[in-house]
Homo-oligomer: A and B are copies of this chain.
């Protein structure tokens, strides 16, 4: 989005853990600040230098180390691109437990460091559950080998979780082992329209109950998103061109039995239509149609930046109130901006986007701190899956207690006493 720009003069491309260790050891001794960098697809400025930090890019460490075909355990270097890993494990009959729009560029090391969520979260859960082991280089260059491939290991504190989601501020993730679920042969995608938000919620509940173990995605978009995608994405088609409804839902099911799962999805959609939850809908008849449905959902972010300046918020909000903030924001901003909402409804995760002709302080003052205060009042999260980075380091108190932030600062000081790792990110200056 062009929001963040640093002035680094040095980017290093280590080829091995030893090289990362030597770099950090050198920088730590001389108190040189370091920004670990993955695929640079973050939305909160977490991987962008603020001043003249040394950039340590993991792009040169992109090897797959091993794959255990019996248990589906992948071990690889941090710089592997998510899509390449996806292709690799799919050829072996497995899938990655996470998938997101940026998959073509983002690195698995960045995914782990930001605890990326994405489209498969509803089925396979968080990386805290899927990462089995990590190798991490600490601020002083110490290599921390936690690269186990065991599903269960209760020997002492499970330190790897400190590094999952800490955005490179406690250590640099260099290697990862990950549990990959079996690839199931039957996959169906439906694109549906709903008249109101209450219907979307009821549909989610019904899908959880009736599709149960085969439900693998439940994504939600308002009609502004669809308009945007149709106007600005090349080659996509509106699956429901006649529909005039305000909301759209994409449901995916994945299972081991094609005919059974398709019949089950069809029966579910028919019942939901009879119950008035769905206004209209279509099931993809082939892979290209399914890709088209997904392209719309995944392309919203890409489409929005073509319109103008985008203010993006990534919020966790109790499902029943999730769309209220979109409507409140629309009232606040009037004709000054276009407000739209989409996201992972099954996980209570809204992506609130506000598009204006340019970034300006007046618009921003209309949005913030209101959006954070509102979310905090619902006991929500001001960063569901994107992290805090530079953008929201000072906003942490909207979602975390002072005692928790204080403990985070103590942990930061313990692991990075010279504050060389990704400075100005994640934690507010006041506690450091």
Binding site for B on A (CB under 8 A): 70-71, 93, 114-115, 117, 121, 125-126, 128-130, 138, 142-146, 148-159, 161-162, 164-166, 170, 182, 184, 201, 205, 208-214, 254-257, 260, 264, 316, 319-320, 344, 347-349, 379-388, 392, 395-396, 398-401, 403-405, 407-408, 410-412, 414-415, 426-427
* CA of A320 to CA of B211, assembled, Å: 35
Chain B residues with CB under 8 Å of A164's CB are: 158
Chain B residues with CB under 8 Å of A410's CB are: 414
Known: A161-B161, A414-B410. A154 touches B387 (CB 8 A): yes
Q: Assess whether A388 is in contact with B155, with CB atoms less than 8 Å apart.
A: yes
Q: Assess whether A158 is in contact with B154, with CB atoms less than 8 Å apart.
A: no
A205 to chain B, nearest CB (A): 6
Chain B residues with CB under 8 Å of A382's CB are: 155
Q: List 17 A-B contacts (CB under 8 A).
A: A114-B154, A121-B151, A121-B152, A144-B407, A145-B403, A145-B404, A148-B379, A152-B344, A152-B384, A154-B387, A155-B400, A158-B165, A159-B408, A182-B209, A210-B256, A257-B264, A414-B414
Chain B residues with CB under 8 Å of A344's CB are: 152
A37 to chain B, nearest CB (A): 18
A63 to chain B, nearest CB (A): 20
Q: Assess whether B400 is in contact with A156, with CB atoms less than 8 Å apart.
A: yes
Q: Assess whether A408 is in contact with B157, with CB atoms less than 8 Å apart.
A: yes
Report how many copies the assembly holds. 2
Q: Assess whether A144 is in contact with B70, with CB atoms less than 8 Å apart.
A: no
Q: Which of B142, B153, B381, B399 is in CB contact (< 8 Å) with A384?
A: B153
A139 to chain B, nearest CB (A): 12
Q: Assess whether A153 is in contact with B184, with CB atoms less than 8 Å apart.
A: no
Chain B residues with CB under 8 Å of A155's CB are: 381-383, 388, 392, 395-396, 398-400
Residue of B nearest to A412 (CB): B157
Residue of B nearest to A210 (CB): B256
Q: Which of B154, B320, B398 is in CB contact (< 8 Å) with A115?
A: B154
Chain B residues with CB under 8 Å of A70's CB are: 201, 205, 319-320
Q: Assess whether A411 is in contact with B157, with CB atoms less than 8 Å apart.
A: yes
* CA of A178 to CA of B230, assembled, Å: 40
Q: Assess whether A381 is in contact with B145, with CB atoms less than 8 Å apart.
A: no
* CA of A70 to CA of B181, assembled, Å: 26
* CA of A158 to CA of B158, assembled, Å: 12
Q: Assess whether A347 is in contact with B152, with CB atoms less than 8 Å apart.
A: yes
A144 to chain B, nearest CB (A): 5
Residue of B nearest to A212 (CB): B256
Chain B residues with CB under 8 Å of A212's CB are: 182, 184, 255-256
Chain B residues with CB under 8 Å of A404's CB are: 144-146, 156, 159
A352 to chain B, nearest CB (A): 14
Excluding A154-B387, A159-B407, 6 further A-B contacts by CB distance (< 8 Å) are A128-B128, A152-B381, A155-B383, A157-B166, A182-B208, A213-B256
A183 to chain B, nearest CB (A): 10
Enumerate the 8 nearest inter-chain pairs by beta-carbon distance, A residue then B residue, closest first. A129-B129, A161-B161, A212-B256, A153-B381, A152-B384, A155-B399, A150-B316, A213-B213
Q: Assess whether A165 is in contact with B159, with CB atoms less than 8 Å apart.
A: no
Known: A320-B70, A410-B414. A154 touches B386 (CB 8 A): yes
Chain B residues with CB under 8 Å of A128's CB are: 128-129, 158, 161
Q: Which of B165, B403, B411 is in CB contact (< 8 Å) with A414?
A: B411
Q: Assess whether A152 is in contact with B349, with CB atoms less than 8 Å apart.
A: yes
* CA of A166 to CA of B154, assembled, Å: 9
Residue of B nearest to A399 (CB): B155
Q: Assess whether B114 is in contact with A384, with CB atoms less than 8 Å apart.
A: no
* CA of A213 to CA of B427, assembled, Å: 40
Q: Assess whether A348 is in contact with B150, with CB atoms less than 8 Å apart.
A: yes
* CA of A399 to CA of B156, assembled, Å: 9
Chain B residues with CB under 8 Å of A348's CB are: 71, 150-152
A116 to chain B, nearest CB (A): 9
Residue of B nearest to A253 (CB): B213
Q: Assess whether B403 is in contact with A148, with CB atoms less than 8 Å apart.
A: no
